[in-house]
Amino acid sequence: MDTSDDASLISRLLAATEALIYSGGIHATGMDAIVKASGVARRSIYRLYANKEELVAAALLARDQRWMSWFIGATSQENAPLSRLKSIFPALRQWFESEDFHGCAFINAAGELGKTHPDIGAVSALHKQRLLAYLRELTRESGLPDPDEAANYFLILIDGATAVAMVTGDASAADSAGRAAALLLSTLPQPAGSNSPNR
C-alpha cells in the first residue's frame, strides 16, 4: 500500500474516531464501531496504530489542530488585540450552539482516562498548553500588566464556560464569561494609547 493510500486511511480513521469518542466517550467506543464508521479494516487499523490508546491519542491530536485553527481564525477578525480578546466569547457561543457540541474533548478525555493512559493525558495537557500560549500572545499584544496571569484568567473563563454549557445546555454561559472578562479588564491598568479596555 502506498503513502497516499495510508494518508487516506488515516484521515478517515482519525475523523471517525474523533467523532465517536467526542459524542460517546472513549470507553463506550469500541473498535467495532470505529471499523464500521471509518470503513477501515481492523487489520489496517492495527498496522497503523499499535492499540486503541495510540489511535485515540492520534485522533485527539488531530482535533487539537483543527480546533485551534478554528479558534485562532474566529478570534482574528478584529485588528485591535483587546478586541480579539473580547471576540473569544462570541466565538465560544457559536461553538456552544452547534449541534455536535459535547464540551471540551480534552477535559473529557483527561477526566475519563488521563490518569491511567499517559498518552491521552499528555495530548489533553498539550492542548491546554497550546491554548494558553495563544492567549498569552493576545494578552501580551494587548499591553496588559502581567499578561501571563491575565492569560490564565482567560483560560479559566473559557474552560469554565465550556463546562457549564455542556452540563446545562445553555450557550449563554459564553455571554456570562464575556461579561466576567470585561469586568476583569476594567480593573486592570490601561494599555498605553487606550482609553478603555472594552473599546
Which helix (H) or strand (E) segment holds residue 26: the answer is: none
What is the predicted pLDDT for the residue at 188? 79
Residues of the chain short of pLDDT 50, as ranges, are 1, 195-199
Within its chain, how far is the Cα of 190 from the centroid? 30
Residue 61 grid coordinates: 491530536
What type of residue sits at position 132? L
Residue 178 lies in a domain: yes
Within its chain, how far is the Cα of 159 from the centroid? 9
Residue 46 lies in a domain: no
What is the predicted pLDDT for the residue at 195? 46
Residue 9 grid coordinates: 486511511
What is the predicted pLDDT for the residue at 68? 98
Instruction: Determine the 3-state secondary structure of 16 from DSSP.
Output: helix
Per-residue CA distances from 143 to 23, 93, 108, 117 (Å): 39, 26, 33, 40
Residue 134 lies in a domain: yes
The structural domain count of the chain equals 1
Residue 188 grid coordinates: 486592570
Domain enclosing residue 114, as ranges: 55-186
Find cell 454561559 and name the residue.
173
pTM: predicted TM-score of the whole model, two decimal places: 0.90
Residue 43 lies in a domain: no
What is the predicted pLDDT for the residue at 143? 92
Residue 48 lies in a domain: no
